[in-house]
Every structure is written in structure tokens, then in C-alpha cells.
Amino acid sequence: MSLIKTSSTYISVISVWFLPWTVMAQPAAIAMPDIYSAQTAKQILMQGGNAVDAAVASAFVLAVTYPEAGNLGGGGFLTLFEPNKQSNNATHEPNQGKSYFLDYREKAPLAAFRDLYLDSNKAVVPYRSLVGYQASGVPGTVRGMWKVHQRFGHLPWKRLLSSAIQLAKQGFVVSEPLAQRAIWYQQWIIDKSPIPLNYTAYFADLKTNSIFKQPELAKTLTLIAEQGADAFYTGKIAQQIVKQMQKPESMADKGLITLADLKGYQAIWRQPVQGQWQGRTIVSAPPPSSGGIAIIQLLKMKSLLEESHKPSWLKAEANLPEQAFKAHVYAELEKRVYADRAFYLGDPDFIDVPIKQLISETYLTSRIKGVLLDNISDTESLKPGKLESPETTHFSIIDSQGMAVSNTYTLNMPFGSGVVIEGAGFLMNDEMDDFSTKPGVANVFGVVGGKANEIAPSKRMLSSMSPTIVLKGGQVEMVVGTPGGSTIITSVFQAIVNVVESGMSAQQAVDAPRVHHQLLPVNQIAYNPELSDATKAALELMGYHLKHNSYMGDVQLIANINGHWQAASDKRGQGVSEVFSLD
């Protein structure tokens, strides 16, 4: 419960003079991907829960109401900012708080090996890393939620699962987009697996405006509420997962996950990757995500380029439609970043990732050398620099004490591997496709990988998920993130630039057209929504191939703009956002 009400000047003044150790209360804000998670997050905050409580409760709700990405059978990342409760006695200014990052990404099962998805001719077996029993990594979500709650949660664990249990038991109203995605997936997997999968038996009833109940999932959530994460990793649910993995008759189709895999799974606290940009600290996802490094590289390279090439920047800007110039500059920077991603990035528990160098000014200054402002620089010769899903879901929360959570988690493809754990009622992920199954061969998002991200037992697959917090003056300025596979990085980058440099409101920043270039296919810029004819013509004249992406993220952004909190959910999705006082 907050001690101070933002609306009361009187109490605020008292707090400054008599309660100098107390963090000034502020409005709370949420930006959530659906109405059910938004209602739950708000309710928890209104009941005195903190941002972590709201995040945990919402993550379990999304496992019910957003089955294409919300999950128990997947994994993700959570970036957290905890304000320092002690103010500086001399200045009465709050001290800087501390940032944390929780990695609850899936891990390759112990039985996995480098050539798991290759046939005897070393050719990739189509869809095996994406559909069916062998596509799943060891899930991390339940352990992750447990771990963050153990350290930072305030309300009792059991209470945080009650909304999810109720929604699974009593059902929720299916939205049209969810029903459409469910039909799409049902048709998509039909010819992708050599054996029948049970997805349809569980999710065929996702019909627009119908009430969808999930009694098995309600039982699973109740077990987790009563017994904690161990129910999932060593208890009854672990047994159910392993039993399901063994269902296919042929060894070639059986799943790899064992009781030892589940028992051994740990979520890990890591140092978030942090970079300075425009008087701010960008706090984001470190490896095994590529997101934080890539976003900091993009932001810093943009500033370095603008400063060091001022005359040619201004000339090229004047010669092109505004959106076309932006798209070209972003493309030039992005292809360099994706080249680095493919070469240097992977699980830091297995390889050394040169994080500091990759985001250093020296390296990035050398990296922008080949950028052309009025033409496309060569892609074929673009190598990693020399050093001296699409479906996922994201939410952003800040509580009245300034604690912020930026959380992105996923099954990878919508509805994951198409395998439901019978009796437990949840879908398994198909995250194994995020490994580089064969160097140089693109994954479902079209990004290529190399040795750093090859499969090994217990290794985490490289991700693009980028839950990000922007700090200014040691306090939270933005909480931001999005789904969208490899486009996550470029969407978060553009949302931050839109607020800081283009002076947009939070809503404008998330709704603005976005462009995306990921090195390959050569000279291809993807965009969403429509670009103007002039923009398209200018980019095509330069030699770009333009591709309209029907899906390009669902950004959830909270931002403090000129001292006022704003929360915005991308118009591309069905999110709900709100700023509210706890009065």
C-alpha cells in the first residue's frame, strides 16, 4: 500500500520533510497484450501488490487467455528495475535504484546434439525443429515466475494464480483475432508432422465470441498454486510432460525431455546489458538474447553516424522523403547488427560473448565506416565486425513506487510445437528452432546463425526477445518490449527513437509505421503498416525490395514524457493500457 498519494500536495510535502526515506508515490501504469491480463495486473496493483506480483499474475493469466504465446510450456526474459527506497538525505532526491534481469529461457534437453535436425546427408529435416515432440526445449516459465516472486514478490504466490485458475475453469470470451490465429495454425500444421498431433483436440473450439474453458489447465494451475514450481519440475506435472514425450511409437518422433531435464532446469539472474545513449541508460536483455546488444548498437550507431556525417546526413535527408531516409538509414545499421548477431551471439554459459566490445563506441565507430547515406552499401561483403516468434507476447508494468517490470515470453511459433501435455492442458514450445540447426540455414524468422548458436545439451538457444527499461536520472523513463521474432529488436529500437528523438507521444510511438532489415534477404526492407507511395518509390529506386509484413510486433510501452506518465498498446494488437492512481 502506498503511503503517499500523488494527488495530494500536502502529503507530498510532508513526505519530503518527515519521511525522507520513502519513495514518492506515482501513478501506476500497465501496457498489456489483452484485456484479461490488463484487468488482472490492475487488480493486483490496486490490492497492494507490486509490479512483480502484477507480472506473475498476468503471466499465468496469459497462459490461459493468450494460448498462442502466453505459456507454461515455454520461456522468456524479465527485466526489472527496483527503486532505492532510501532517498538521498542531503538532496531529498531518490537514489538510483538497481536493475535486474531474469533469464528463464528454455534449454536444450540433455539428449540434444548438434546435428539433431539433420538427416544422414546432413540436410535439414524440414519442420522437425518447429513442429512435434522434438521441437521443444525444457520449459522455463514456471521456474522463472517462481524465482522472481521469491525474491521480489509481496503478495502470496497462491493469490497470484487465482485469476488464471478462474479463467481456465469458467472460461473466457474468444476474440476474433485469437480464433483466426487458431484456425490458421490448425491448417498450417496439417502437413508438417509425420505423426498426428493433439493440438486440434484441445484448441478446435477457439471460435469467435464463444466461451473457452480449459479444465485440465485449471487443475495444472491449481497444483502450481498449491505446491509452487516444484509441481512442474519434479511433481505430477513433470511426470505428465515426460509421459507425453514418450507417446509417439517411433524413436524418431519421441520427445527428448526427461525427468532429469526438468529437475535440473534453473532460471538464472544475469547482469542486464546496459548502454549509455542520449543521457539515458538503456537496460535490456543480455545473451542468450541478442536483443539488448542489438538495440544499444542501433541507438549508438545512429547517433554516431548523425554526428560524424552531419553534412552528408543533411544532404541525403533533404533528397529523400522523410520515411524513406529513415528506412534506409535503419536498414544500413540493422544489417550490420544482424551480421554480428549471427556470428558472435549465443548462450553465455557456453561461449564468450564480447558484450562490452560489441557496444563500445570504438567498435561502433569502426562499424559505421561503410555506411552509405544515399545508397545501399554492399551486403555480400558485409561480415561480422572485427573486434579490437513470430509469436511471443510482452507486457510492461510500473507500480506506484517506481518498480518496473518488462517481460517478454514465448512458445516461439504461435501455439508452439502443436503438442499439448495431456491431462495438464498446456502447449509445449518449439524453441529448438531458434538454434542454428545448420550454420547458414535460416530459421523460421529468416535469420541465420553460426557456431556460437549451435545445439548442445542444456544450452539456451539465441533469442531476439528484448524486454527493455530506459532510465533517465536514475529513474524509469520507459518500459518497453514487443513480440515479433527477429523484428523485436528493430521495433523496440524504433519505439525508443520515436519518443526520444521524434517527440512522439507513447501512442504515436507504438503505432508509427515500422521498417525492418535483417541482413538477409539481401536489400529487403519489410514494413508495417503501409508506407506512402513516395516512400516506396524512393526506396525501390535505391534498389530495395519492399515486403509488406502482415505482422510486425505488438509494442507495449509505458513512458514518462515531460513529467507525465503515458501507457500505450500497439494498434496492431489487442492490448489494453492504462495509467491510474491508487487512490
Q: Which residues contact 314 (CB under 8 A, 6 or more apart)?
A: none
Q: Is 392 assigned a catalytic role?
A: yes
Q: Is 464 in the site for ligand GLY (CB under 6 A)?
A: yes
Interaction residues for ligand GLY, span 413-442 (CB under 6 A): 431, 434
Closer residue to ligand GLY (CB): 283 or 285:
285
Residue with cell 519434479: 234
Q: Is 485 in the site for ligand GLY (CB under 6 A)?
A: yes
Question: Binding mask 338-377 vs ligand GLY (x if CB under 6 A, - otherwise)?
Answer: ----------------------------------------
Q: How far is the CB of 52 from ligand GLY (least distance, A)?
A: 22
**Dist. CA 496–CA 451, nearest whole Å:** 31
Contact 154, 50 (CB under 8 A): yes
Q: Which residues contact 158 (CB under 8 A, 6 or more apart)?
A: 225, 226
Q: How far is the CB of 95 from ligand GLY (least distance, A)?
A: 34
Closer residue to ligand GLY (CB): 218 or 296:
296
Q: Which candidate, 280, 251, 254, places its Cα nearest to that of 99?
A: 280
**Dist. CA 272–CA 281, nearest whole Å:** 11
Q: Is 136 in the site for ligand GLY (CB under 6 A)?
A: no
Peptide bond into 33 cis (omega under 30): no
State the DSSP H helix or E strand holding residue 457, giving kind and residue range, or none if neither.
Answer: none
- What the block records as the C-alpha cell of 116 is 539433431
- Which residue's CB atom is positioned nearest to ligand GLY? 463
Q: At 202, which amino acid appears?
A: Y
Helix-, strand-, coil-residue percentages of the chain, each rounded to 5: 35, 20, 45
Name the segment binding ligand GLY (CB under 6 A); options: 118-126, 175-183, 273-281, 463-471.
Answer: 463-471
Q: How far is the CB of 76 from ligand GLY (least distance, A)?
A: 8
Q: Is 106 in the site for ligand GLY (CB under 6 A)?
A: no
Q: How far is the CB of 444 from ligand GLY (least distance, A)?
A: 8
In the set 40, 65, 258, 392, the catalytic residue is 392
Exactly one of 28, 465, 515, 531 binds ligand GLY (CB under 6 A); that residue is: 465
Q: Is 410 in the site for ligand GLY (CB under 6 A)?
A: yes
Q: How far is the CB of 461 from ligand GLY (least distance, A)?
A: 7
Number of DSSP helices (H) and strands (E) in the chain, helices first: 20, 20
Q: How far is the CB of 202 from ligand GLY (least distance, A)?
A: 22
Q: Is 129 in the site for ligand GLY (CB under 6 A)?
A: no
Name the segment binding ligand GLY (CB under 6 A); options: 114-122, 138-146, 314-322, 460-468.
Answer: 460-468
Exactly one of 58, 244, 392, 528 binds ligand GLY (CB under 6 A); that residue is: 392
Closer residue to ligand GLY (CB): 411 or 476:
411
Closer residue to ligand GLY (CB): 136 or 410:
410
Closer residue to ligand GLY (CB): 221 or 465:
465
Concatenate the DSSP letters of all residues of 334-376 into one string. Answer: HHHHHHHHHHH-S-TTTS---HHHHT-HHHHHHHTTT--SSSP
Closer residue to ligand GLY (CB): 385 or 467:
467
Closer residue to ligand GLY (CB): 214 or 297:
297
Q: Is 577 in the site for ligand GLY (CB under 6 A)?
A: no
Q: Which candidate, 383, 400, 401, places its Cα nearest to that of 341?
A: 383
Torsion of CA 343, 348, 352, 358, to 10 degrees: 60
Count other C-beta atoms under 10 Å from residue 263's C-beta: 12
Q: Which candidate, 277, 290, 343, places its Cα nearest to that of 487?
A: 290
Closer residue to ligand GLY (CB): 220 or 393:
393
Peptide bond into 288 cis (omega under 30): yes
Q: Which residues contact 369 (CB under 8 A, 6 or more apart)?
A: none
Interaction residues for ligand GLY, span 10-69 (CB under 6 A): none
Size of the site for ligand GLY (CB under 6 A): 10
Closer residue to ligand GLY (CB): 83 or 483:
483
Residue with cell 505459456: 71
Q: Hey, which residues does 557 pair with through a beta bridge?
A: 480, 568
- 545-548 and 524-528 beta bridge pairing: parallel
Q: Is 389 in the site for ligand GLY (CB under 6 A)?
A: yes
Name the segment binding ligand GLY (CB under 6 A); options: 164-172, 195-203, 351-359, 458-466.
Answer: 458-466
Q: Is 393 in the site for ligand GLY (CB under 6 A)?
A: no
Long-range contacts for 6-9 (Cβ within 8 Å, ≥24 apart)?
A: 6/400, 6/581, 7/581, 7/583
Q: Which residues are catalytic?
A: 392
Binding site for ligand GLY (CB under 6 A): 389, 392, 410, 412, 431, 434, 463-465, 485
